[in-house]
Amino acid sequence: MPKPILVLVALISLSPLVAFAESHPTPAKATDITNEEVDAVLKKSLPKEDQQLKVVDVGPYNLAVGIIHREAAKDPTDGITSCLAHHNVTETYIIRSGSGTLVTGGHIINPKEVTGDSDINIKAVGPTASGFVRNSEAQVRHVKPGDIVIIPADVCHGWFGITDHVDYLSIRPDPDRMLPAGYVNPSIK
């Protein structure tokens, strides 16, 4: 292919990216989430597990921050853990308090799509499947305060071995803008 045509093809293929970047300028200010706000959401959200704190338009994508509280539960005895896989959103877990065993990866057994109008899809992580994973086929690790785990989109993840509780922040880049930019948890508005 002649060089002028290659240049034209490159420009045409990049034009949607340029238009997208222009329609979502990078913000000129930072967004704060204070420790007091995190604690307020945790306090009011119990016994719910997953609460979005804020969703921010950061220019080329949205960025969400959630806080999750999980309490001790009866652990499975068959070596299988319930799990979720978020199709479009990568999560980074930052463990704040408590501990437990986090299972990631493996093949999801009996996946079922979470209904489109559920809070988890609309406010937290976008389209998601739930199911089960065999621990022997997954990465299994004990996590504690200060640990950080990055879970790519479509990687199933679940918990067991929580003796009391585990609280963790979830940082969620949202390149497909599935989550509502500008969202602020009602507990901290």
Contact between 45 and 187 under an 8 Å Cβ cutoff? The reply is yes
Q: Which one, of 68, 84, 77, 75, lies nearest residue 133 by Cα?
A: 84
Identity of the amino acid at 108: I
Model pLDDT, residue 126: 85
pLDDT by residue, tens only, the chain of 189 residues = 455 443 434 444 444 444 444 567 788 899 999 999 999 998 887 655 688 999 999 999 999 999 999 998 888 889 999 999 999 999 999 999 999 999 999 999 999 998 878 877 777 888 899 999 999 999 999 999 999 999 999 999 999 999 899 999 999 999 999 889 999 999 998
The 10s digit of each residue's pLDDT in 31-85 is: 999 999 999 998 887 655 688 999 999 999 999 999 999 998 888 889 999 999 9
Contact between 138 and 160 under an 8 Å Cβ cutoff? The reply is no
Q: What is the CATH number of domain 31-188?
A: 2.60.120.10
Tally of residues, the chain? 189
Contact between 83 and 158 under an 8 Å Cβ cutoff? The reply is yes
Question: How many CB atoms are closer than 10 A to CB 166?
Answer: 25
Domains of the chain by residue range:
31-188
